[in-house]
């Protein structure tokens, strides 16, 4: 894609044969935004070198989907590092034609990121983009035209990385009935931020954090102490330094009293989810799973062609995870469409599931509690008689199946097993 430089440098002096990537892209007339971006990012020399490179080139239409203010910032001096990272996220070392890409599940980019590769409805998907034209041959590589800009995952700050690691270690300890060990993990991470360098706190912020840590250390109730530490972690995660002084409430993220089934702090949790698309019945909808900042993201596009229209993602629920629970609580950010939370009594991907529809508001977080007793049985989408008990739950699904075509996006923060009658029966931190 950056293979689209508006420069006249040739990779070789050979007068015949295909043009270099920059010339190829520039002559196409569909990559003016990309050409400008490559120039502003200072990547012309790199992309004019011998290579070879494989470039996924977003069209001008693809760039038009990005907010104008964001584009303006990326084209400034302050935005240049992020612009370079975005552009490199579209370039792979080596010449990989479509046939080679179809035999791979992922590729590593010059940005050090990984792009997932898959096929749906006869189309090659790269990350969240579809390939419109493939195998445009160049002297120093090959270009594949894509319909979206591939934005790389935001890089976590040292503070976020440390806190994420602490949460992934602390939550299982708390859930296993060991709040003292959980507190020790949280306290170690907080002390590192309190006394260490490079975590983004000035002297006043460190002093405020220190006072709250000292106060928490004096708490005799282990569960309450773990919650106090977790509140500090949430405040630091949200960069709400004022909350360290107690002048505003800490972030509510994961401040629940249920048993955590998924909180996506550990990347391994994301790998447990799988997509099931209408392609199994000839449909052409898409769906992709990714993780960013401790949130699971499910996005794609529903198509009503070939009697399709649904996309879903599914994961298993460990045996005993729903013990003493009567409901599932989710914290999600939607797209304004109607979604379905599903459960199933078997771990396989069969058509027998229990559904609960919920509405979303575009770009707004919502916490939704779904009583298991109110979930309706469906068999391959057809409503049937029957109910599922909490103890029988072995799988959980999210469906987009509202008989509408178009893009969708759902962000999932946490999934918990809860008891709406007596939440003291469950625990989490």
The pTM of this model reads 0.45
Instruction: List the one residue out of 77, 96, 91 whose CA is nearest residue 44.
Output: 91
- Residue-wise over 277-297: b if at least 16 C-beta within 10 A, else e? bbbeeebbbbbbbebeebbbb
Question: What is the C-alpha separation between 129 and 63, in angstroms, rounded?
Answer: 12
**pLDDT exceeds 50 at position 133:** yes
**pLDDT exceeds 50 at position 158:** yes
pLDDT, tens only, 272-283:
899 988 775 667
User: What was the pLDDT predicted at 107?
Assistant: 95
In CATH, the architecture of 262-425 is Sandwich (2.60)
Neighbouring residues of 82: CB distance < 8 A, sequence distance ≥ 6: 74
pLDDT higher at 279 or 244 = 279
Instruction: Answer whether 350's CB lies under 8 Å from 394's CB.
Output: no
Instruction: Name the E strands within 195-326.
Output: 259-262, 274-277, 288-292, 295-302, 311-316
Across 101-105, 155-159, 165-169, 359-363, least confident range: 155-159
pLDDT, tens only, 22-51:
788 777 788 888 888 888 888 888 888 888
Angle between helices 222-237 and 179-195 (to 10 degrees): 40
Instruction: Answer whether 139's CB lies under 8 Å from 22's CB.
Output: no
**pLDDT exceeds 90 at position 311:** yes
**pLDDT exceeds 80 at position 129:** yes
**pLDDT exceeds 50 at position 252:** no
**Average pLDDT of every residue of the chain:** 83
Question: What is the C-alpha separation between 148 and 372, in angstroms, rounded?
Answer: 39
Question: What is the C-alpha separation between 302 and 312, in angstroms, rounded?
Answer: 10
Confidence of residue 77 (pLDDT cuts 50, 70, 90): confident
**pLDDT exceeds 80 at position 156:** no
Phi-psi region of 135 (alpha: psi -120 to 50; beta: other; left: phi over 0): left
Task: Record the tokens describing residue 142, joined without a space.
Answer: 């090959």
Task: Record the tokens describing residue 235, joined without a space.
Answer: 């405040």
Residue 342: beta bridge partners? 355, 397
Domain 21-146 fold: FAS1 domain (2.30.180)
Residue that the structure tokens 């319909």 belong to: 147
Question: What is the C-alpha separation between 321 and 172, in angstroms, rounded?
Answer: 12
User: What was the pLDDT predicted at 350?
Assistant: 57
Neighbouring residues of 170: CB distance < 8 A, sequence distance ≥ 6: 182, 185, 186, 226, 230, 429
Task: Record the tokens describing residue 111, joined without a space.
Answer: 């940005």
Domain boundaries, the chain: 21-146, 158-254, 262-425
User: What was the pLDDT predicted at 358?
Assistant: 95
- Residues of the chain above pLDDT 70, percent: 87
> Alpha helix locations (H) across 42-198?
44-47, 60-64, 68-74, 80-88, 98-102, 158-175, 179-195
User: What was the pLDDT predicted at 280?
Assistant: 58
User: What was the pLDDT predicted at 423?
Assistant: 46
Rounded to an integer, the average pLDDT of 187-201 is 91
pLDDT higher at 248 or 308 = 308
Instruction: Answer whether 132's CB lies under 8 Å from 147's CB.
Output: yes
Across 122-126, 227-231, 424-428, least confident range: 424-428
**pLDDT exceeds 50 at position 248:** no
Phi, psi of 103 (to 5 degrees): -95, 5
Instruction: Answer whether 98's CB lies under 8 Å from 85's CB.
Output: no
Residue that the structure tokens 């445009």 belong to: 136
**pLDDT exceeds 90 at position 120:** no
Question: What is the C-alpha separation between 383 and 100, in angstroms, rounded?
Answer: 43
Across 20-24, 248-252, 328-332, least confident range: 248-252
Burial of 325 (0-12, 13-18, 19+ CB in 10 A): buried
Confidence of residue 349 (pLDDT cuts 50, 70, 90): low
User: Of all helices (H) and strands (E), which one includes residue 125?
Assistant: strand 123-126
Same fold, 21-146 and 262-425: no
């Amino acid at each position: 894609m950056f293979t689209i430089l508006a420069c006249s440098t040739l990779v070789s002096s050979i007068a015949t044969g295909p043009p270099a990537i920059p010339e190829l892209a520039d002559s196409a007339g569909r990559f003016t935004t990309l050409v400008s971006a490559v120039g502003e990012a200072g990547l012309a020399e790199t992309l004019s070198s011998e290579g070879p490179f494989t470039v996924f080139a977003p069209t001008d239409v693809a760039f038009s989907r990005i907010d104008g203010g964001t584009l303006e910032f990326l084209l400034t001096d302050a935005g240049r590092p992020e612009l370079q990272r975005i552009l490199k996220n579209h370039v792979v070392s080596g010449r990989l034609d479509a046939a080679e890409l179809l035999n791979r599940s992922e590729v590593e980019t010059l940005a050090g990121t990984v792009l997932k590769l898959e096929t749906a409805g006869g189309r090659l998907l790269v990350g969240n983009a579809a390939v419109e034209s493939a195998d445009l041959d160049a002297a120093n590589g090959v270009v594949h035209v894509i319909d979206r800009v591939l934005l790389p995952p935001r890089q976590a700050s040292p503070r976020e990385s440390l806190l994420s690691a602490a949460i992934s270690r602390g939550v299982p300890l708390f859930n296993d009935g060991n709040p003292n060990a959980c507190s020790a993990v949280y306290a170690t991470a907080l002390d590192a931020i309190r006394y260490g360098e490079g975590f983004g706190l000035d002297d006043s912020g460190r002093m405020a954090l220190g006072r709250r840590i000292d106060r928490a250390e004096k708490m005799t109730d282990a569960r309450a102490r773990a919650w106090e530490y977790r509140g500090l972690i949430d405040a630091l995660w949200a960069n709400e330094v004022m909350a360290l002084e107690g002048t505003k409430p800490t972030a509510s993220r994961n401040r629940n009293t249920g048993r955590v089934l998924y909180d996506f702090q550990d990347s391994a949790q994301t790998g447990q989810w799988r997509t099931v698309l209408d392609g199994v019945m000839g449909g052409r909808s898409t769906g992709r799973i990714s993780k960013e900042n401790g949130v699971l993201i499910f996005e794609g596009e529903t198509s009503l062609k070939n009697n399709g229209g649904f996309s879903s993602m599914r994961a298993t629920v460990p045996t005993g995870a729903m013990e003493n629970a009567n409901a599932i609580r989710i914290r999600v950010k939607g797209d304004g469409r109607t979604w379905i939370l599903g459960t199933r009594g078997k771990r396989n991907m069969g058509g027998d599931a229990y559904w609960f529809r919920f509405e979303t508001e575009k770009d707004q977080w919502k916490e939704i509690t779904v009583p298991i007793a109110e979930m309706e049985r469906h068999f391959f989408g057809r409503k049937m008689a029957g109910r599922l008990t909490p103890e029988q739950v072995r799988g959980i699904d999210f469906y987009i199946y509202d008989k509408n075509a178009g893009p969708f996006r759902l962000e999932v923060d946490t999934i918990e097993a809860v008891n709406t009658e007596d939440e003291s029966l469950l625990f989490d931190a």
